[in-house]
């Protein structure tokens, strides 16, 4: 537990209006029970303990912090936003509250709202790579690819071995249709993380756009080897086969992709594999 967490716990006690030692002790007891359940990934029951902790101490900031995480994991995204907002009210200078709330907004598709929270998180603490990564991801979703790359490079300045940052730079390069630069970024991501399945998938797509049929198929093959249920790998490999006059192989791949739930593959089967 870092220094900020200890400060939050202390403030949770001293900011309680009409401080009652008995209630504070009860709150800490339930908080600790919740923390153990949270660590064991029992988010439902952890949340119940944090509920009780907050009944005894409504200003227990750390209980809001962890209950927000539990709600996020249980896909109660709006509930997670509410708890992070309460955390921010109690501790307005705590960057993780904004970062976590921003992520919940991102999940809901509120990318502009997420960026505002990430901006605040970074203003409060500019040394956390995750906040730059999250903000860059939101910018990618909005099509702000060059700005997104700037954030991913800032994350790399803090952690040069961040494979996810290189992967996201590759997605940004794909977004601005610079397939060569995208391949370079995916190459680095794979060098750092040799079994980076999605990097093989998107590098294969970039190679296909450059006309490197063999390189694309090799990457799709590797992606499928790492994750036999990746429907997009079958879809894209099928596309490469179809473009290179292997209709039977393409239809076989699209059939597999369709079986895995890929709707685009289902449409292609109807159109190309009659």
CA 226 to chain CA centroid, Å, is: 20
CA atoms within 13 A of residue 157's CA, in its CB half-sphere = 11
- Given a contact cutoff of 8 angstroms between Cβ atoms, the answer to whether 273 and 242 are in contact is no
Residue 273 backbone phi and psi in degrees, to 5: -125, 50
* Three-state SS letters, 72-133: HHCCCHHHHHHHHHHHHHHCCCCHHHHHHHHHHHHHCCCHHHHHHHHHHHHHHCCCCHHHHH
Over residues 41-97, the pLDDT tens digits come to: 999 999 999 999 999 999 999 999 999 999 999 999 999 999 999 999 999 999 999
Residue 258 lies in a domain: yes
Residue 267 lies in a domain: yes
* Three-state SS letters, 213-228: HHHHHHHHHHHHHHCC
Task: List the domain range (segments joined by +) for residue 255.
Answer: 229-274
Residue 251 lies in a domain: yes
How confident is the model at residue 25, as a pLDDT?
84
At what angle are helices 145-158 and 163-175 packed, to 10 degrees?
A: 170
Q: Which of 234, 237, 196 is nearest to 215 (CA)?
A: 237
Over residues 214-231, the pLDDT tens digits come to: 999 999 999 999 999 999
Res 18 pLDDT > 50: no
- Given a contact cutoff of 8 angstroms between Cβ atoms, the answer to whether 200 and 231 are in contact is no
Instruction: Kindly report whether the global pTM for this prediction surpasses the value 0.75.
Output: yes
Output the six-digit token pair for 187.
Answer: 């190459």
- Identify the band that residue 23 occupies on the pLDDT scale cut at 50, 70 and 90: confident
How confident is the model at residue 274, as a pLDDT?
80
Residue 12 lies in a domain: no
Scan for tokens 């504070």, then name that residue.
24
Residue 269 lies in a domain: yes
Helix, strand, coil distribution of the chain in percent, nearest 5: 80, 0, 20
Residue 77 lies in a domain: no
> Exposed, middle or buried, 112 (CB in 10 Å: 0-12/13-18/19+)?
exposed
- Given a contact cutoff of 8 angstroms between Cβ atoms, the answer to whether 155 and 133 are in contact is yes
Residue 236 lies in a domain: yes
Residue 234 lies in a domain: yes
When divided into structural domains, the chain yields a total of: 1
Q: Which of 122, 120, 169, 127 is nearest to 148 (CA)?
A: 169
How confident is the model at residue 2, as a pLDDT?
53
């Amino acid at each position: 537990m870092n220094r900020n967490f200890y400060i939050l716990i202390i403030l949770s006690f001293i900011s309680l209006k009409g401080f009652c030692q008995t209630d504070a002790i009860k709150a800490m007891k339930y908080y600790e029970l919740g923390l153990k359940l949270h660590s064991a990934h029992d988010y439902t029951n952890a949340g119940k303990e944090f509920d009780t902790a907050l009944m005894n101490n409504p200003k227990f900031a750390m209980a809001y912090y962890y209950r927000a995480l539990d709600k996020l994991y249980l896909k109660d995204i709006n509930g997670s936003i509410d708890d992070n907002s309460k955390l921010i009210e109690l501790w307005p200078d705590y960057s993780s509250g904004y970062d976590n709330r921003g992520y919940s907004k991102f999940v809901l598709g509120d990318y502009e709202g997420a960026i505002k929270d990430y901006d605040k998180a970074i203003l409060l603490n500019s040394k956390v790579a995750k906040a730059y990564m999250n903000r860059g991801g939101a910018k990618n979703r909005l099509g702000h690819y060059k700005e997104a790359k700037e954030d991913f490079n800032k994350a790399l300045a803090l952690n040069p071995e961040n494979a996810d940052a290189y992967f996201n730079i590759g997605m940004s390069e794909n977004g601005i249709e610079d397939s060569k630069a995208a391949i370079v970024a995916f190459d680095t991501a794979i060098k750092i993380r040799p079994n980076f399945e999605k990097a093989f998938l998107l590098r294969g797509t970039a190679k296909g756009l450059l006309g490197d049929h063999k390189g694309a198929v090799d990457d799709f093959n590797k992606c499928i080897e790492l994750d036999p249920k990746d429907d997009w790998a079958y879809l894209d490999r099928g596309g490469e086969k179809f473009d290179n006059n292997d209709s039977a192989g393409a239809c076989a791949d699209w059939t597999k992709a369709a079986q895995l739930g890929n709707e685009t593959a289902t449409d292609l089967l109807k159109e190309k594999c009659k």
